[in-house]
Structure formats: structure tokens, C-alpha cells
Amino acid sequence: MKCSKCHRDAVIFQRYSGLHLCGDHFVQDVEAKARRAIRKHHWIQSGDRVAVALSGGKDSSAVLYFLQTLLRKRRDTELFAVTIDEGIRGYRDPACAAGVAASLGVECVCASFTELFGITLDEIVRKRGDALSCSYCGVMRRTALNMVAREHGATRLALGFNLDDEAQSVLMNVLRGDVDRLVRQMQPVPGLVPRIKPFINVPEREVALYAFMRVEGFDFSGCPYAHNALRADVRSLLNSYAYRHPATKNALVNLGENLSHPETTETASQAGMTTCERCGEPCGGVCRTCQIMDEVRRYA
């Protein structure tokens, strides 16, 4: 097929737009979506020091490349990467992420669960079993990223979330009946580095193609504990439905944004948000990370 814009050979067909795009127009389309998201949400301002949560996989590597391209000529912003080693044997080599950052001329700060919490995820799984491994990892990883980004002066933390990830998150909250998360307003919270998601409107397959076209050396491996995640079931369900109804993922992301808009509800789920009485991280009491560590210690 030929590109709908220039009649060169197309590299992708967008079912939701009906467009065939060549390599150049595809890259332009991805980057235009990301720039619009940043402008719409005012995600990057003059004076910002932006940390990118860099796992070394396709999504985070693509976001790092895009932001480095976007910000490299600006003298009023800074960019660096944060890599967290969860301690999963045979997975997530920090050297891979550091290599991606180095190839782009970006500083990379590495930290580990062992350094921050005194335990690896593999050790937690040995003590508690792997049924909740993804839940434990997600909570602790978010805490670790926030701690390291804040320690290094970040004013924004960029995540590699794409359209599929965000749509899945909204649908998971609906299926769990989690009203608090659906209407959570993104209010500033002391100690919490604000999150930004430049690829929130870019489908996962397009992020993957963008990464293949623009980034070298990213990691292809999958987490050995991923089979436990509710997200895997939701991904299959959503992909099957969205194949017949291509705009579904965009609709779910728009729903999530509308529900969390300050004017749509008077309930702020972050009201009363303070800091953990034990570790000092932002939460609503004793943080979930500290609760996990308590659970692990009981099985020591």
C-alpha cells in the first residue's frame, strides 16, 4: 500500500484513522500526538528537570528518545533517566537501559530494590509466592522511581505509558469498581514528583514501531512474573473488542481524563493525602510499600 499523504510505500495502516503512512509521515504523526498531549496538559514548563523512568524496554526507550529530541535545543529544561533494578533474575539488566541513555547522550541514574528496600523482588516471591508479584512490584517500583527522581531534583517524571496502557488502566478500575481511582484528581502532592505521559494517545504497536525506527539497543525480554497480572487479561479482552471498534481505546482514555477533571466531581481522592509515618513518602496513612515490607517480614 502507498502512503495516504505522499504515495511512498506505507509502513503502517492506522485502522482508527483509515490512513496508510510511510516511515517519515508515521514518525511525524507519533511525535505530533506526543507534542499535543504535552501542550494540552502543560506537562513541561520552563525550568523543569524531567526524569524519564527508563526500564530499557521499547516504550520507555521511545519516550526518552522523543523527549531528548524535543528538549535538546532548549536551555531552560534538563533531562535525565532513572532506572530501577527490581532484582528479577535474568530480567531487566540496568546496563541495557544505561546503554540506551548513553547512546542518546542522556545521564542515567540507577538504583535497586536492594539499595532502597533491602530486598529483591525474587526474594519477596520466595517468601510470599508469586500470586501477587506484579502488585508488589508495581507499588514498590512507583515508590522507588519517586524517591530517586525527587532525590535528583526532578520536577517531572515521564512514564512510558501508551494509549493501550492507559485504556487498560481505566477499564481495570471500572471492572474493579474502583471509584476513587476513576475520579482521582491530579492535584499537586508534597513529595510526589508529578507524572507525565507523552505517549498517552499513541497506540502500543505504533510506539513499538517508532522505537524500532529510532532507538537502538532496547530490551525485548518480558518479565517472568507477568502471567500473574490482571492487566494481561484486560489487554486480551480490550484488544479483541477494539479490533471491531477501533476508537474504543481512545474513548476509554478520554473517559478517564474527563472523570478526573476538577470540574467533573467535587470529590478529590487525594484529599487528606499526607506522608507515610514510617518512610515519609506521599500516601494516605501508612504507605502500601511499608505494608508490603511488613507482610514480607512476617514470612522471614
Of the listed ranges 74-78, 121-125, 287-291, the least confidently predicted one is 287-291
Residue among 203, 209, 201 at smallest CA distance from 238: 203
| Cα separation, 291 vs 26, whole angstroms | 45
How does pLDDT run across 182-233, given as a tens digit for each residue? 887 667 788 999 999 999 999 999 999 999 999 999 988 888 888 777 788 8
Kindly state whether residue 8 falls inside one of the protein's structural domains: no
CB 161 within 8 A of CB 55: no
Q: What is the largest CA-CA distance in the chain?
A: 64
CB 155 within 8 A of CB 50: yes
Kindly state whether residue 17 falls inside one of the protein's structural domains: no
How does pLDDT run across 52-107, given as a tens digit for each residue? 999 999 999 999 999 999 999 899 999 999 999 999 988 888 999 999 999 999 99
Kindly state whether residue 285 falls inside one of the protein's structural domains: yes
Please determine, for residue 264, whether its predicted confidence score (pLDDT) is greater than 70.
no
Kindly state whether residue 6 falls inside one of the protein's structural domains: no
Kindly state whether residue 81 falls inside one of the protein's structural domains: yes
pLDDT-derived band at 24 (thresholds 50, 70, 90) equals: very high
Kindly state whether residue 191 falls inside one of the protein's structural domains: yes
- Number of domains making up the chain: 1
* % the chain with pLDDT above 70: 94
Check which CATH number belongs to the domain holding 130 and give it.
3.40.50.620
| Cα separation, 16 vs 4, whole angstroms | 14
Q: What is the mean pLDDT of the chain?
A: 90
- Give the alpha-carbon dihedral of 108, 193, 158, 145, to 10 degrees: 50
Task: Write out the residue range of the structural domain in which residue 86 sits.
Answer: 33-298
Kindly state whether residue 283 falls inside one of the protein's structural domains: yes
Kindly state whether residue 111 falls inside one of the protein's structural domains: yes
